[in-house]
């Protein structure tokens, strides 16, 4: 009887340790790297260390709104893209690599923050990320006046297109929230990268930006 009890106790400990060290069943893992790149120059991409990685969950079944996500045509109609979630998060290491484990199944946009120390005391759980109106003359995203991602406006380092029908549409680059400090990338006028997490899957992504932490040349 005593030997049997020792066996069951050992088995319980093994199972408990396995559960703590492995991703939860039915959830996924996201790995990736964050690099800075200099456009139009033959300079190797530079890994960015100590960058905070968070997720914005897109509405299931709805997909992205139609049209460009950052544009002067969005002034009168701004649609919801997704909602920021507080967990899981990660921070890049010395080679710019990160890993998010136990990610619930769903569709996500990956956001990044270059200055994680500024997030102390900031609650971003549930913050809504909508499309942004881009003021072409000021080259900024004006304050929305709402408690959302663009509450205090935003900064943009983008290239885009101009047309008499759609105005200016941001096509490529990075856009950042003034109030929260989080940024996301644009590719082909859409937020990037958007990924679909499946049960027990691992997705690898690459984030390249022209933004760099303060004090770095």
Dump pLDDT digits (tens) for 74-126: 888 889 999 999 999 999 999 999 999 999 999 999 999 999 999 888 889 99
Q: Is residue 139 part of a domain?
A: yes
Interval 32-91: pLDDT, tens:
999 998 776 677 889 999 999 999 999 876 678 888 899 998 888 889 999 999 999 999
In a domain, 103, yes or no: yes
Q: For position 1, what pLDDT does the model report? A: 53
Number of H helices and E strands in the chain, helices first, is 1, 16
For residue 4, is it within any domain?
A: no
Cβ contacts of 38-41, under 8 Å, gap ≥ 24: 38/210, 39/210
- Residue 8, in any domain of the structure: no
Residue 36 lies in a domain: yes
Give the total number of structural domains in the chain: 1
Residue 12 is assigned to a structural domain of this protein? no
In a domain, 7, yes or no: no
How many Cα atoms occupy the beta-carbon half-sphere of 77 within 13 Å? 6
Residue 20 lies in a domain: no
Predicted confidence (pLDDT) at residue 14 exceeds the cutoff of 90: no
Query: Does 25 or 19 have the greater pLDDT score?
Result: 25
| Structure confidence at residue 7 (pLDDT) | 40
pLDDT of 56: 97
Domain, as residue range, for 171: 25-209
Between 142 and 26, whose confidence is greater?
Answer: 142
Mean pLDDT of the chain: 85
| Whether residue 166 has pLDDT greater than 80 | no
Which residues make Cβ contacts (< 8 Å) with residue 140, sequence separation at least 6?
Answer: 134, 153, 154, 155, 156
Give pLDDT, residue 215.
53
Residue 61, phi then psi, degrees to nearest 5: 85, -20
Question: Which of 137-141, 167-171, 210-214 is least confident?
Answer: 210-214
Residue 62 is predicted with a pLDDT of 62
3-state secondary structure of 74: helix
pLDDT for the residue 6: 44
């Amino acid at each position: 009887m005593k030997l049997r009890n020792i066996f069951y106790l050992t088995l319980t400990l093994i199972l408990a340790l396995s559960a703590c060290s492995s991703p939860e069943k039915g959830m996924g893992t996201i790995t990736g790297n964050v690099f800075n790149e200099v456009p139009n120059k033959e300079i190797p991409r530079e890994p960015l260390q100590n960058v905070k990685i968070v997720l914005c969950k897109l509405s299931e079944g709805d997909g992205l709104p139609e049209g460009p996500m950052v544009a002067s045509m969005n002034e009168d109609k701004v649609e919801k893209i997704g909602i920021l979630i507080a967990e899981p998060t990660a921070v890049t290491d010395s080679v710019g690599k990160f890993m998010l484990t136990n990610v619930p199944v769903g569709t996500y946009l990956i956001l990044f923050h270059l200055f994680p120390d500024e997030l102390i005391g900031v609650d971003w759980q549930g913050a809504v990320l909508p499309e942004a109106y881009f003021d072409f003359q000021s080259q900024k995203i004006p304050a929305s006046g709402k408690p959302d991602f663009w509450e205090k406006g935003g900064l943009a380092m983008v290239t885009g297109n101009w047309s008499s029908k759609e105005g200016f549409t941001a096509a490529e680059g990075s856009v950042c929230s003034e109030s929260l400090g989080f940024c996301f990338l644009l590719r082909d006028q859409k937020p990037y990268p958007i990924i679909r997490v499946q049960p027990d899957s691992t997705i690898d992504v690459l984030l390249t930006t022209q933004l760099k932490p303060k004090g770095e040349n």
